[in-house]
Amino acid sequence: MQDRRHDARDKVLYGGVAEIKERGSTMDCVVRNISEHGACVEIAPTAKLPPEMNLTIARKGRSFLARLIWRQANKVGLAFRIMTSDTPVSDLDERLRQSEIKKRQLQRRIKELLGEG
């Protein structure tokens, strides 16, 4: 496969959250490589993804409006349209983000305990 990227991507292993605005839902993902203009992300192969979504990478303190470029099984290529935030706007935003992460972790744990996951 020919690499058509303009920028080299750094290999990383970051947790991320893809947010699908139309449905108001989020899903956890793993960022495998990233550049200023895009990323390769691992996501559930059955996930229904729209042409555009928000990608939040907590470790970098950044969120991006991203366009889906390609998909192969559980990997997707995203092109960043704009960076929507560089740092949390306030302490309240950061606490809300942390609460959402904790909620997802607890939901996964409940599913495990109930034998659903």
Per-residue model confidence as pLDDT tens for the chain (117 residues)? 445 555 667 889 999 999 987 767 889 999 999 988 999 999 998 888 899 999 999 888 889 999 999 999 999 999 998 877 655 455 666 777 778 788 888 988 998 899 875
| Angle (CA) 89 65 36, round 5° | 90
| Rounded distance between C-alpha atoms, residue 97 and residue 58, angstroms | 9
- Reading the block at residue 17, the tokens are 């959250």
Task: Count the Cβ atoms, other than its own, within 10 Å of residue 34.
Answer: 24
* Beta strand segments in the chain, E: 10-20, 25-34, 38-42, 52-57, 62-72, 75-85
Task: Count the Cβ atoms, other than its own, within 10 Å of residue 17.
Answer: 19
| pTM exceeds 0.75 for this model | no
- Reading the block at residue 28, the tokens are 């956890």
